[in-house]
Amino acid sequence: MQGTKRDGTVLGDMVLGAVAGCVATVPMTWAMEAMHRRLPQRERYPLPPRQITMSVAEKAGVKEDLDEEERLGLTLLAHFGMGTAAGALYGLLARKQPLPGPLAGAGFGLAFWAGNSLGLLPALRILSPATKHPPRRNALMVTAHLSGEPSSERSPPEPRSPSRSPSLPRRPVR
């Protein structure tokens, strides 16, 4: 979160991180989808966000009740929720780390992927470990987790006053 305007509070840094994490999930999701289409056909099975979401939906007993549109919506909601939560955690951890922002963000993204894909999700029996997936798919996921990094280094735009906003008329509309 280098170059961001922090208010110095733990909550403020976590909120800023959460916003950055949500924003960073956009290019990450785009990159995952773009690279997924380039995989050999046999490796184009659902990406981890879909696998994770459907595994949890199955454990909750609701998977069969979901149509495709609901499955997609739930997958996106879960993926952006995870990105937002990861960003909040990064906002908290970034307060004390000595590395430059981009390096710290990239390290966090890779550690987050590895911790979930090799540890937490397999331990919870939600997703098979990354070691069981083809190398190209793991390369896709590593690259995707790095692709969101530049977005996570920018702070949200400063709010404009209504009188200076280019999208609002300068005088009342009658």
pLDDT digits (tens, 9 = 90+) for 19-35: 999 999 999 999 999 99
If you count them, how many residues does the chain have?
174
pLDDT in tens, 112-136: 999 999 999 999 999 999 999 999 9
pLDDT in tens, 56-111: 999 999 999 999 999 999 999 999 999 999 999 999 998 888 887 788 888 898 99
For the beta carbon of residue 12, count every other beta carbon within 10 angstroms: 13
**Mean pLDDT value across the chain:** 84
Cα distance from N-terminal residue to C-terminal residue, the chain: 44
Q: Tell me, what's the pLDDT at 105?
A: 85
- List the domain boundaries for the chain: 10-153
Q: Tell me, what's the pLDDT at 95?
A: 83
